[in-house]
Amino acid sequence: MIPCGAYTLDKALTYLAKTGRFAFSGIKIYLFWITVHYITSHLYPHICADLSFYGFVTSAVYVMTPHCRALAWLQSTSQMAIQNMWMVLGAWFCAKLLPHVGNSENAVNSNKKKKEDYE
């Protein structure tokens, strides 16, 4: 095995594989909600609120039908899911970056302590 800092190459590759699987599962969920939102955003105006005078008149009736209510629910739920995923991703990045941001003197002292631990 080739040492790679504090980790061996095998451990680093195992970590990357686990992280990749975890990220792929999140990406699948994100792609699902993007697809649902895209499809419902295009179906709702076509089915429930046609762009014509007839569509204008009938939209008051169609808005109460089960299929139009389902499309509206899917559209709003997918919008909230996508918004929440971006908020979680932003919070995760902040949690990862904030420990590295701050008083530069503390960062220098922290690096000195780490260096002393290895010596």
Summarised one tens digit per residue, pLDDT across range 54-77 is 888 888 888 899 999 999 999 999
Note the pTM of the prediction, 2 decimals: 0.63
Place of tokens 């420990």: 99
Q: Is 78 within 8 Å of 33 (Cβ atoms)?
A: yes
| Closest among 68, 18, 37 to 60, alpha carbons compared | 68
pLDDT tens digits for range 38-53? 999 999 998 888 888 9
| Closest among 105, 46, 43 to 75, alpha carbons compared | 43
Between CA 28 and CA 32 the distance in angstroms is: 6
Six-digit token string for 5: 């800092």
